[in-house]
Structure 1
């Protein structure tokens, strides 16, 4: 096809020749602009069709570069949101208590201190029971001896508790820092770092322009899913699933709780039925 700018004759003003109007030049320029726009649109359509048909792998790699570790990034974001949702559902304090209890059974310094505290507490309770069972007037010597042991064990128990409280506070600080590094930091760093990279591409023509713009917000290419959008979708789905699981668990727990008192009412029924018989027997005796 010939270029329209070459097909329109343009003549300058020469003596003895006709003069062409300048509108020919404007028309030729507008035709050339329309031709270039139509050509670029046709090339874009051919490129999108080749992407959909699977024949434009090299063109897609050149125009839409995608890192090879996007699947790893997708799974990383999903795992981080899963861990964060689990911590929010169970509770950070409950998780700290569970980990602290498990660590105290390992051969470390805090486990030895916890075992010593348990031993002192058992001895203290034993001496206290004996002290309460001993009379200070009848057995004063024994009572005084038990009292001294009681005060000594109480002082040792308070010292052990203070040491464990200091160790527990440090443990909670370390565990909170680890939890922040595992959940909060990746939740902000990963979407920001991969904000310009497409996680995956949406099917062409399935969504309107404004939907593609929102899904690719803030910096991903138009028509793709950005890292913040993928993170928001994972968080919403996991929150919905956790609420469904909690609701089902509550329903099952309430059903089992209502079924337990039934045998108690059945055992109380015969006692109520025997009361009129006892009254009748008493009336007969009278």
Structure 2
């Protein structure tokens, strides 16, 4: 079985280890997610990423009950959606997620978006810190936060998030934000890592590196994520793709290959801009 490397993640006064390759479940329907998660766990994934808004927490929970892998060996992430932000409502949302997942705690609980128009993310962050203190989450963090959002959390609560899950792929490398995360001890976790909606997999530069390494374009891109120091969470419902996405630990991109991929950055998003995304406000 594949042993996935891990990164240290702040968890209150200590740290926990997060697998550097996780299994994402965005856009995987509840009726399909159980089988997909079970196959991911069988393949060697030990980190599962879901969210309240995905509508599949119950299906993920079914997989957790059906697998023979102990709960303590699985790193589980979920997220509070925008319409539940606020101190009291965040706790209620967390309790609902735990019921759906059928677990007493999650390893990581995240604020899904800053939602600037609502301006509730600081109170929501305070709720996450309390949830961590109460043992309902081992570590807490955010998604889609820019530097000013992160600084405000630290200024008003004295603590930066443990992780910042953001859109990162070769066409949107977010170099400055990742550098800021590193400076503050924040792990960067990359969603939409293949930039599937942007056609990155067909980029000739990626194709050239794939030919040189004997790997697929997707494997090259996922390996690039590992080598820039990120956690990465690819998703698929296809068994062969789930297996292939994890098969990236037996090769390494050269510095020249890394440089060629770095040159692909276009600051091009496949998802919304956090500064403008206020759905659920």
TM-score range normalised by the length of the shorter chain: under 0.3
TM-score by length of 1: 0.20
Higher strand share: 2
> Which structure is larger by alpha-carbon Rg, 1 or 2?
1
Greater RCO, CA 8 A, separation 6+: 2
Higher helix share: 1
TM-score by length of 2: 0.20
